[in-house]
Copies of this chain bind each other. A is one copy, B any other.
Amino acid sequence: MTNLATQAAIKHARAHRDDDLRDLFTLLSQPSISAQNIGVQECANLEEALLNDAGFSTRRLDAPGHPVIYGEWLGAAGKPTILFYGHYDVQPPDPLDLWQSDPFTPTIRDERIYCRGVADNKAQHFSHIAAVRHWLRANGSLPCNVKIMLEGEEEVGSPHLDTVVAAHKDLLAADFVYTSDGPVTDARYPEIVFGVRGLLYVELFATGANRDLHSGHWGGVAPNPILALSRLLQTMIDDQNRVLIDGFYDSVRQPTPGAKAAMDALPFDTVQTIGGIGLTEMVPPAERSYAERVMFQPTLNIAGITGGYSGPGSKTVLPAKASMKIDMRLVPDQTPDEIWEKIRAHVEKHGNGIEINRLDGGMLPSFTPVEHPLADIVRAAVAAGFGAKPISVPSAGGSLPDSVWTQTLGLPSFLVPYGAPEQANHSPNESYRLERLYQGIETSIHLIGLLGE
C-alpha cells in the first residue's frame, strides 16, 4: 500500500513528464566526452543547476580530473540516508556515419530517446534527481535524506573515484549506495545486483634468442617462446579449468545460503543463454551451473596471445619473443594484490625466465548480502516502479569499481539498472525507452517513500 506522500509525488511526476523530458534533453544536448575533454565542464554546470532546481544544495568535491558534483538534501533528521551515484560523462560517438540522427540531438523515434549518453548514464541518474524534484514539489520535503555524487570520468575508468571517496568519507556517509547504470540482463525482469567480481590483469613476456631465427637452422636448438608460454599455461590451469596457481582459491568465500538461493531462483535458461553465443555445452566441469560460474567462481582467461608470423601464407621463423595477456575475475575475499603475489610466484617458479607484468591496479570484488534488511526495501521500490518482482543477482559476472562503496565506504551497495539490453551503450544509436525513464523515476520515488516509513 503506497503512502499518500509517495502517491502525490508519483502524481506530480506523471503530470510533469514534459518538464522532465525538457530538462533531460538539455543534459543530453550537451556533449560531455571525458576521453576527449569535450564539454565536460559545461555538462557539470548543467548538472549542478539541475540539482539546485530539484532542491539539492550542491558543491564540487576537491579532485584531480573532471568535476565531481555532490548534492544533498538532509532535512529528515533521524531517517535513513541514500547515496546515489551516477556519471555525466559519455563515450565518444564514433563512428558518426552509423548514427541515424545526430548523436547530441536527442530524438524520439518509436517511443525511444536516441542520443549518446542517454542510457549510459544520463537518463538513469536523472531519474533520481527527478524523483527528488517531484517529491519536493508535491510534498515540500522528503521522508529520508538523499545524497548524490556524479562523476565525469567513468568512461575513462574512474581513475580518481576511490581517492575522492576516501577523502570525503564523512560527507558521503549514508546507509547504502544506490546506482542505476547499465542494462538489466533480460528486459522482462527488473533486476538488483548485489556485487561484482574483482579483476586482475597481467601480461606475460617470453624471450628466446636475441632475434627472430630461421627455423631450419635453429628449430630444436633455440627456445621457442610460444612453446614456453604454452607450457607455462598448462601449469596454470588443468583440463577441468581449475586454476593450479598455489593458493589461488584460498580466499574464496562460499556464497551465503541466501545468495545461493537467489542464484538458483534466477529465471534464465542456460541452454538458451549459451545458444546465443553459438554453443551447445559449457566447458568443464560439467556439473557447475552457468550462474555459479560467473557469480561465485574466480576465472583465469587468456585474453590474447601473439608471437611469430601470423600473416597470410607461410614463414618459417622461430620467433625471439611472444607475449600473452591474462585476466582473472576475482570473488570475495580474493584481492588483486593477493592474487598478483601468487601468480607472480607461480611464474617465477614454473616460467623458466618468462616475465610477468601487472596492468592497471585491478579491482577488488564487492559483495552485499542479498539478505540485507535494506534489500527488501529496494526490492519493494523496484517492484512498485516497474510493476514486476525484481530478480536478485548475487553477483554480476563482470567487474566494476563497486568496492569503492562496499570497502572504502563500508556500505551496502545496490546496483539497480534501469536500462534494457537493447539500448546500445557505447555503440551508435544509443537509446533509452521512454517507458523505462518513467518507470525509473517512479522507482526512485517509491524508494524515497519506503525509506521514510
Contact = CB atoms under 8 A, between A and B. Distances in A.
Interface residues of A, number: 69
Nearest to A234: B234
Interface of A: 197, 199, 201, 209-211, 213-224, 226-227, 229-231, 233-234, 237, 239, 241, 274, 277-279, 282-283, 290, 293-294, 297, 299-310, 313-319, 322-325, 327, 329, 359-360, 396-399
Nearest to A185: B217
Contacts of A211: 277-278
B316 A327 contact: yes
A425 B214 CA distance: 14
A332 B397 CA distance: 54
Chain B CB within 10 Å, residue with most, of A283, A305, A308: A305
A396 B216 contact: yes
A221 B241 CA distance: 10
B221 A283 contact: yes
Given A209-B279, A215-B327, A277-B218, A224 B305 contact: no
Contacts of A360: 313-314
Contacts of A327: 215, 219, 314, 316
Contacts of A307: 302, 304-306
Contacts of A301: 215, 219-220, 224, 316, 318
A353 to B, nearest CB: 12
Contacts of A302: 224, 226-227, 230, 307-308
A219 B360 CA distance: 20
A199 B233 contact: no
A234 to B, nearest CB: 5
A308 B317 contact: no
Given A215-B301, A329-B216, A294 B221 contact: yes
A306 B316 contact: no
Nearest to A316: B327
A345 B234 CA distance: 23
Given A222-B277, A283-B221, A303 B294 contact: no
Given A201-B316, A278-B209, A314-B303, A308 B325 contact: yes
A223 B315 contact: no
A322 B293 contact: no
Chain B CB within 10 Å, residue with most, of A199, A227, A396: A227
A274 B221 contact: yes
B304 A317 contact: yes
A308 B301 CA distance: 11
Given A218-B277, A221-B294, A302-B308, 10 more contacts: A215-B301, A215-B303, A219-B329, A220-B293, A231-B239, A303-B314, A303-B316, A304-B308, A304-B317, A305-B308
A316 to B, nearest CB: 5
Contacts of A323: 310
Nearest to A313: B359
B316 A310 contact: no
Contacts of A199: 216, 316
